[in-house]
Amino acid sequence: MAIFIVWALLSLSSLFAFCTSQATPSNDSYDMFWGTSSYYAHGLDEATQAAWLDGLQRDGARIIRIWINGISPGTYKGTNVTVTIPDLEETVGVFNDTVLDAIDSLLVEGHRRGIKFIISIHDGNAFGQNSCDAYCTEFGGVGPASGTPITLGNSFYTNPAAVAAFDNRIAHIMNYRSPNFGQPWAQLTEAIAAFDIENEPMIQAITQLDIVGPTWFCDRAKQFKKYIGTAPIAVSTGGTGGSGNIYQNWNWRPWLFTCPEIDWIALHGYDGDWTEWVPNATALAAQNNKKLFVEEWGVVASARANNLAWNFEKFVELGLSWVYWELVPGPIKSCYCGSDRSNAVFEVQLDGPDYAGFQSIANRTLTAKSAYDFSAYLAL
């Protein structure tokens, strides 16, 4: 009981500090936007992809966040995918542009519907947590099949050879010339709103976050800007350290806000925990002229409509645009942890049985106001 009381007092004092010392953004003159993530939309068949995009357009989505990752045939969140798309690098430094071509075709279809993209150029979970890709094999981390604990994943962020290889990946992606638009992606302002430095960078290297993070993040952002220049395409943090909650501030480390080349600070959080620490992040954003948004969030199916609405009210209060994890075309019945309980999932099926609650907040977003001006990045 004594431990519980101490914990409760600490929690209350922290919450009091959040509520009293941090100001809510006062500028609410900008349009709020909403969107969805998808790590497999570039592998959908033409009819399924078109129907999904049409639904997003109908309900006013402005952003899709996509990963540069390969696709294997199988069932993805309730949707059957039949294509094989190799990873960009199945061997580090050897590039196969098939995945970029597939994503570029998706960019065209999104552009036709007034939707732009955030592109995550690599997945920080690919060091054995969700998969083990070429970087995992080359620089540390082991695949989940081996059953061996991850012990070497940090080397990706500290090994000079790994840093050079990742910069080479950035350069290749930035210089990739769109066969549909005729421009390199670094200048493809018609379709691309932002690049994530990585999806959830350092999620498997949290102990290194404050040691190498300030240099690693800002140096990688500089690499992007070398190719983007002054084009209105943002460099986004991608959810530093993974999903946030009231016990840590991985997503909004102060040194992220002081890097001139970082434009957007991306927040990741689930089931509302993160909303208690957002005021701290908004204060840092205001001090450093950064744009803050919720890049990944979700609520489980149980009491979903109420929880969606509750989170949305927090977004309105704080002036935050949002991108959901994730709006899917198929009847999803399993969650990220392998559960087969339909009420345990964060995904929402477009026009599915419980879509009404999601559609309600999507529609309300269209008239809501943001504390941050994203208009230059969202312009088609």
267 pLDDT higher than 90: yes
Question: Hey, CA dihedral for 362, 365, 121, 128, is it positive or negative?
Answer: negative
Q: Is there a contact between 35 and 323 (Cβ–Cβ < 8 Å)?
A: yes
Residue whose tokens read 């006013």 = 60
300 pLDDT higher than 90: no
pLDDT of residue 342: 55
> 69: closest CA among 156, 152, 157, 169?
169
pLDDT of residue 190: 98
26 pLDDT higher than 90: no
pLDDT of residue 66: 98
Q: Is there a contact between 192 and 116 (Cβ–Cβ < 8 Å)?
A: yes
Phi, psi of 234 (to 5 degrees): -85, 155
pLDDT of residue 12: 30
Mean pLDDT computed over 208-233: 97
Burial of 367 (0-12, 13-18, 19+ CB in 10 A): exposed
Mean pLDDT computed over 162-168: 97
Confidence of residue 108 (pLDDT cuts 50, 70, 90): very high
25 pLDDT higher than 60: no
pLDDT of residue 30: 97
- Summarised one tens digit per residue, pLDDT across range 52-81 is 999 999 999 999 999 999 999 998 888 889
Of the two residues 44 and 345, the one the predictor is more confident about is 44
How many other CB atoms are there within 10 angstroms of residue 372's CB atom? 22
Q: What is the rounded average pLDDT for all residues in the chain?
A: 86
Confidence of residue 13 (pLDDT cuts 50, 70, 90): very low
Which of the residue ranges 102-106, 119-123, 243-247 would you say has the lowest mean pLDDT?
A: 243-247
Q: Which conformational region is residue 327 in: left (phi greater than 0), alpha (psi within -120 to 50 degrees), or beta?
A: beta
Of the two residues 205 and 271, the one the predictor is more confident about is 205
Confidence of residue 225 (pLDDT cuts 50, 70, 90): very high
Mean pLDDT computed over 156-174: 96
Q: Is there a contact between 328 and 347 (Cβ–Cβ < 8 Å)?
A: yes
376 pLDDT higher than 80: yes
Q: Is there a contact between 106 and 47 (Cβ–Cβ < 8 Å)?
A: no
Most confident of 22-36, 299-313, 317-331: 317-331
Confidence of residue 145 (pLDDT cuts 50, 70, 90): very low
- Summarised one tens digit per residue, pLDDT across range 310-353 is 999 999 999 999 999 999 998 875 544 444 455 568 899 999 98
pLDDT of residue 112: 99
Confidence of residue 151 (pLDDT cuts 50, 70, 90): very low
285 pLDDT higher than 90: yes
Bridging pattern class, strands 116-120 and 322-324: unpaired
pLDDT of residue 147: 44
Q: Is there a contact between 344 and 318 (Cβ–Cβ < 8 Å)?
A: no
Q: Supply the pTM of this predicted model.
A: 0.89
Q: Is there a contact between 157 and 216 (Cβ–Cβ < 8 Å)?
A: yes
Which of the residue ranges 15-24, 214-223, 271-280 would you say has the lowest mean pLDDT?
A: 15-24
Mean pLDDT computed over 292-302: 91
Confidence of residue 1 (pLDDT cuts 50, 70, 90): very low
Domains of the chain: 35-378 (3.20.20.80)
The one-letter amino acid at 317: E
User: In angstroms, what CA-CA distances link 247 with 18, 45, 271, 361, 369?
Assistant: 12, 42, 14, 28, 29
pLDDT of residue 273: 62
- CA-angle at 330, arms to 328 and 331, nearest 5°: 110
Of the two residues 149 and 20, the one the predictor is more confident about is 149
